[in-house]
Every structure is written in structure tokens, then in C-alpha cells.
């Protein structure tokens, strides 16, 4: 009833927070590890013994760069500016690319976007 309209929310002011574990290799490439199931009994009974209890997603160089900055301290705008410094013209249009990537991470529940006051942003 009193929610802000989508058009009033500025994505650049939001702060992405990681929600799952990850590994970083020597080339700074990130592999995100998300549990297949949240409940322990589901892991024990539904995941076959030969399968991993986690779903592993390997990110590319740009995705890894963004993931490492989703630390809960930097806004989307700050991350975009760092991307411009690191990748130059190759990353343009940076805001469109970053928005799409963060939406994908949010849909998979790998990250959560929050307002500067710490309240979650519900898409």
C-alpha cells in the first residue's frame, strides 16, 4: 500500500550482498557454491551419493570481478565505476550489463540487493 513505485527506486543506490559461499582460484575466477537443498534431511534423502550436495556455478572474468565486489559495502554505482576502470570500453554499456547480471544473480538467490539503510529490496 505504501510501497515505492519501481520507477522511484534507483538501482545504482542499492548494495548487493552475497548469500552463498564461493571459491576463488589463482586467476581470480569465482565458483559460487549453492546448496542443492536447505534442509539437512533433504540432502541426506534426495541427493544421490555420487552427486555433490552443492550446485557449483563458475563465473567468467567479468562476473568474478563483480562477485568479489558484492561485499555489502559498495553500491551498484561504485561497482560500475570500478568495472569501467578495469575493463574500459570493452564493458560498455556498463549499467545495462551490470543490471542484467545482478538480476540473474538475484533470481538464483546468490545475492540480495539492499537499500543503504539495510532493508532488503524486493524485486
What are the residues facing 57 on neighbouring strands? 32
φ, ψ for residue 36, nearest 5 deg: -65, -40
What does the alpha-carbon distance between residue 65 and residue 79 come to, in Å, rounded to a whole number? 9
Give the number of other CB atoms < 10 A from CB of residue 68: 15
Please report, for the chain, how many H helices and E strands are present, in that order: 4, 5
* H-run or E-run covering 56: strand 54-58
Residue 48's pLDDT is 64
**Do the domain assignments include residue 22?**
yes
pLDDT in the model for residue 24: 96
pLDDT of residue 104: 94
- Does residue 117 lie within any of the structural domains? no
pLDDT tens series, the chain, 123 aa: 445 554 577 889 999 999 999 999 999 999 999 887 666 665 566 666 666 778 899 999 999 999 999 999 999 999 999 999 999 998 999 999 999 999 999 999 999 999 998 888 876
- How many whole angstroms separate alpha carbon 65 and alpha carbon 67? 6
pLDDT digits 0-9 by tens, 16-48: 999 999 999 999 999 999 887 666 665 566 666
The confidence score (pLDDT) of residue 121 equals 85
* In a domain? residue 26: yes
Number of domains in the chain: 1
Q: Measured between alpha carbons, how far is 50 from 55 in angstroms, rounded to an integer?
A: 13
Task: Flag whether 77 is in a domain.
Answer: yes
Note down the domain range covering 69: 15-111
- Evaluate if pTM is beyond 0.85: no
Asked if the structure places residue 74 within a domain, the reply is: yes
Pure H helices in the chain:
40-46, 61-69, 76-87, 94-107
Amino acid at each position: 500500500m505504501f510501497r515505492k513505485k519501481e520507477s522511484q527506486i534507483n538501482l545504482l543506490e542499492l548494495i548487493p550482498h552475497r548469500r552463498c559461499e564461493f571459491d576463488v582460484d589463482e586467476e581470480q575466477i569465482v565458483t559460487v557454491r549453492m546448496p542443492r537443498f536447505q534442509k539437512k534431511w533433504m540432502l541426506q534423502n534426495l541427493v544421490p551419493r555420487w552427486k555433490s550436495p552443492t550446485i557449483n556455478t563458475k563465473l567468467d572474468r567479468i562476473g568474478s570481478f563483480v562477485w568479489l565486489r558484492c561485499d555489502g559495502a559498495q553500491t551498484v554505482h561504485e561497482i560500475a565505476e570500478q568495472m569501467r576502470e578495469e575493463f574500459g570500453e570493452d564493458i560498455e554499456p556498463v549499467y545495462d550489463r551490470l543490471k542484467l547480471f545482478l538480476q540473474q544473480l538475484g533470481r538464483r538467490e546468490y545475492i540480495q540487493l539492499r537499500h543503504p539503510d539495510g532493508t532488503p529490496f524486493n524485486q
